[in-house]
Amino acid sequence: MGQFGIGQPVRRKEDVRLLTGKGNYTDDVNFEGQVFGAFVRSPQAHAVINSIGIEAAMAAPGVVAVYTGADLVADGVGVLETDVEMADLAGKPMFRPKRTLLATERVRFVGEPVAIVLAESQAQAKAAAELVMVDYDQLPAEGSTFGATQPGSPPVWAEHGSNVSVHWENRPVAEIDAHMAKAKTRVTVDIVNNRLVPNPMEPRAAVAQYDAATNVMTLYAPTQGGRRIQGGLAKGILKMPPANVRVISPDTGGGFGIRGKLYPELGVVCWAARRSGRPVKWRGDRSETFVSDYHGRDQINHAELGMDENGRVVALKVHTILNVGAYMAENGPRLPISGGGRIIPGVYDIENFYFSVKPVFTNTVPTDTYRGAGRPEANFLMERLMDAAADGTGLSRDEVRRRNVITQDKMPYMTQMGLLIDSGDFIGNMDMAMDGADWKGFEARRAESAKQGKLRGIGLGNFVEAAGGRPTEEMRIRMEADGKATVFAGTHSHGQGHETVYAQLVEDFLGVPFADVSLVQGDTATMPKGAAGTFGSRSSWMGGVGIKRAAAQIVEKGTKIAAKLMQADPESITFEAGTFSAGASSVSLAEVAKAAHEARNLPEGMEPGLDVSYFMERDAELFNFPNGCHVCEVEIDADLGIAQIVRYTAVDDCGVVLNPFIVHGQVYGGIAQGIGQALTENVVYDAEGQLLTGSFMDYGMPKAQHFSHIEALFNEVPCKTNDLGVKGAGEAGACGAPSAFVSAVMDALAPYGIKHIDMPLTPDRIWRAIADAKAAKAA
């Protein structure tokens, strides 16, 4: 390990460029002769489209064209369909509706695109979009997650006749009811896991250029990996060979899962460029983010936990209603089942487990992956159950957890949902977090707050994730003739610091100086063919291990070249810190790289150059399991209902930490988004599907004032299923923060007998809960 090797807190290479205005984003891309696009979006949550009048828009200044869904259908443009397929216990498949890129006969949520206007300037396109006259017949709409399950709920899809797509169960409920009946103590929780708007800093954008002479489409757009977008566009939408569709993702201003999706707008912009014969540029604004980017979370959970006389869990039942919105997005229905939510029952050793999920349609924006992708919901549910279990048994909150966590001697541990957890120290996490937070000294701090007229509470939250995402990835390392190295990544950095961490790995494995390693990413023309992208906390494993194995092949090939240069037996050569040695002789990797470009220096039959791609493939059921324990301490002004975080301690087991500086940043960001959900953020629709929180005036983003110092600690337990021992890090904070914060607030409110408040715990909700509790006591 050198100054820039594995484990060193190296500052990010990319930050100087990004912080000095030298970033290159999609909106910085322009082509000569381009036109600008503006989408016409539905103001109705549910309506029949009678007609679309484009005459006034076409006559507006600068307008080049107006296209509707009918134009796309006539041209044979494809549709979007979810990747998810599942069935109920009887084998009846889920209802999987298809989505046209522009609505044709009916709109199903506010913000659904119905037309695109092309004009010579962005202002002209937006102005003309206001002139497109759509005649709607309004239909009854459903805006409620719970309401969608009730008899009489207006169906979003009339042909299905119900808003419940499928009732998925992991087993017959009677099997678990028998175990539950034997429990000494039974507790239940009812939870609304609130809907969120992910809100990356960079709104969605797209610039498309079509070359008719070569039949090549080039799309610039912020994504989390262009290969998946390329495949979907080419095969599913444009009906072109994938090799003829090039996707370029320059710097991307935040991903969080939702930037990895093939949205209708991307397909429309590409098709419009082909149809019009001119490059088309579209830049969405923040208002469009709220009504068209996929939303996150939105579940209702009812869960029951049964325990024996020793406080050990004997049975668990979870019923989940998942709001998928008006259409099923790529992964939306999968999230609580085979996605992140599959981690239930979390860190706990629970043998008897029943799980039921009903994905329901509503007249709202579709939901899909958002930082954690089902894991924050699953862990929050389990931690609220554990707090309820402590209350029901009289055990302390930490003791009831200690009695039920999976212990190290049971590793590897197969969960009831079929996940094999290879490693983890869950009790060690709790000990480190509670010690770091001075849990034992809390009562003195509570008493001090009481003197100031404040309530004080402390809470903890355990969590575990299944990380790794899709099971394939390809990474390429090319040694240049001057001894520098270029990494061609299949992954795609959009804030994770790959330019830095990958350079650390290359220096560690090959001895190439950190400053001499460059990263090429984001272009399907140059990325490895097996590229998948960055999502699901996968890059350290799939990308990092790919780099390690590619580096090993470079050393293997370089050894043969070095043997010829030194006139030595390849078997006698060693490699360390960038140098090949044989006895007293040695040559550097830089010298070997230069020699590799000259045929006379190569063994017979060897291809010139040191350029290696490694295709990484693992078992689709093999994951790594980031885990941890977070402790949050809050102070509450009961007169105002304001909860202020005053201390926060995060213990994370990310396996081997490649760069503590960057992982700390990932933890902080995840905590910020987790606290955002727990404290300020909430999407609100009215009963008829109208969005009431459509801007930052109404939607509460977390701010610096909502946080205290975050003490981030690592309990490194190396993963046993990959070469680097790494586990994911990017989503951990979002999994640990909500439960720790809510637990702390409920501890502070315990004198009022308040057991639970649904997120977000806004001042209004806390104040009303206190007022109601006082009124109930007075009555």
Q: What is the pLDDT of residues 87-118, one digit of tens each?
A: 999 999 999 999 999 999 999 999 999 999 99
The label of the residue with tokens 């063919």 reads 529
Please state, in angstroms and rounded to a whole number, the distance separating the CA atoms of residues 545 and 63: 51
How confident is the model at residue 605, as a pLDDT? 87
Each residue's pLDDT tens digit, 646-676: 999 999 999 999 999 999 999 999 999 999 9
- What pLDDT, on the 0 to 100 scale, is given for residue 535? 81
Contacts of 573 (CB under 8 A, 6+ apart): 559, 562, 563, 566, 580, 581, 582
How far apart CA 548 and CA 557 sit, in angstroms, is: 14
Is 315's pLDDT higher than 60?
yes
Residue 639 pLDDT grade (very low, low, confident, very high; cuts 50, 70, 90): very high
What pLDDT band is residue 3 in, cutting at 50, 70 and 90?
confident
Does 2 score more than 80 pLDDT?
no
How large is the average pLDDT for residues 339-360? 94
Specify whether the CB–CB gap between 592 and 610 falls below 8 A.
yes
Paired residues of 651 in beta bridges: 629, 713
Average the pLDDT over 438-464 and give the result: 98
- Can you give the pLDDT at residue 274? 98
Q: Which residues pair with 645 in a beta bridge?
A: 634
The Cα 702–Cα 706 span in angstroms is 7
| Whether pLDDT at 533 is above 90 | no
- Which pLDDT value is given to residue 382? 98
| Rg of the chain over all Cα atoms, to the nearest angstrom | 28
Give the range among 597-606, 690-699, 768-777 with minimum mean pLDDT. Answer: 597-606
Give ∠ CA 582-583-586 in degrees, rounded to 5.
50
pLDDT, tens digit, 9 for 90 and up, residues 151-170: 999 999 999 999 999 999 99
Return the SS3 of 585.
Answer: strand
The yes-or-no verdict on residue 1 having pLDDT over 60 is no
The predicted structure's pLDDT at residue 538 = 86
3-state helix, strand, coil in the chain (%, to 5): 30, 25, 40
Digit-coded pLDDT (tens) for 543-574: 999 999 999 999 999 999 999 999 999 899 99
Q: How confident is the model at residue 529 (pLDDT cuts 50, 70, 90)?
A: confident
Pair 456, 633: CB distance under 8 Å: yes
DSSP assignment of 332-363: GGGTTTTSGGGGTTTTB--S-EEEEEEEEE-S
Looking at residue 716, its pLDDT comes to 96
Q: Which residues face 489 on adjacent strands?
A: 475
Tell me 600's DSSP state: G
Over 90: is that where the pLDDT of 269 sits?
Answer: yes
Give the pLDDT confidence score for residue 5 in this predicted structure: 87
Q: 609 with 417: CB under 8 angstroms? A: no
Q: Residue 587 pairs with which residues in a beta bridge? A: 580
Q: How far is CA 177 from the centre of its chain?
A: 35
Amino acid at 354: Y
Task: Identify whether the C-beta of residue 273 lies closer than 8 Å to the C-beta of residue 280.
Answer: yes
Nearest of 520, 576, 145, 49 to residue 365 by alpha carbon = 145
Q: If you average pLDDT over residues 630-655, what whole number do you get?
A: 98
Does 534 score more than 90 pLDDT?
Answer: no
pLDDT given at position 544: 92
What rounded mean pLDDT belongs to the chain?
95
Q: List residues bridging with 133 in a β-sheet.
A: 53
Percentage of the chain exceeding pLDDT 70: 100
Q: pLDDT, tens digit, for every residue of 189-247?
A: 999 999 999 999 999 999 999 999 999 999 999 999 999 999 999 999 999 999 999 99
Residues 6+ apart with CB under 8 A from 222: 25, 26, 200, 202, 204, 205, 249, 250, 252, 253, 255, 259, 494
Mean pLDDT of 449-454: 97
The pLDDT of residue 23 is: 94
Q: At what angle do helices 544-566 and 498-510 cross, to 10 degrees?
A: 30
Closest CA to 34 of 128, 131, 124: 124
